[in-house]
Amino acid sequence: MKSFYEVSSGFTLIELLVVTGIMAVLTAVGVASYNQFNDKQKVDQAARELVSNLKKAQSNAAVGRKDSCSQSLEGWYADLSARTYYGQCSGGTKFPNPPLSLITGNFSLTSTPPASVIKFEPLTGETSSNLIITVSTDPAGTIKKKVAVTPKGVIELVP
């Protein structure tokens, strides 16, 4: 028969520390992966919002929406640097006032080739722009999504 001191029961301190260390490493990796996934989802949502609002501006131009403007419609514009879109009459009057937001949140918008304003022509919704707009979490573009705008008026996410 074994004495009280010879009976082995439970875990040693070393075993508990090893298991705790492994759990800490797995948790850290899981949290980092979740944060990156979450940031990617936010950029994807922002890019979809940009596409939707560009299509709204294009649609407003195509149907000739000019609100209370008594002059002819010059077109609808998407200002990438100001992150807004608006209509403009031939006299230079912009509407609505304030302009509508292209994208919400703290995202960087850049275009290739560089452009600050996209004009959608009245009645056709076409544009002279042929560009790729990059939506990213920061100017370095670590997590990004691209949106294409073609002269024929095609606006879509780039896979």
Q: What is the pTM of this model?
A: 0.84
**Domains of the chain, first to last:** 13-158 (3.55.40.10)
Burial (0-12, 13-18, 19+ Cβ within 10 Å), 102: buried
Please report which confidence band the pLDDT of residue 141 belongs to, taking 50, 70 and 90 as the band edges: confident
Q: In angstroms, how far is CA 135 from the centroid of its own chain?
A: 5
Residues 2-60 pLDDT 10s: 565 666 678 899 999 999 999 999 999 999 899 889 999 999 999 999 999 999 999 99
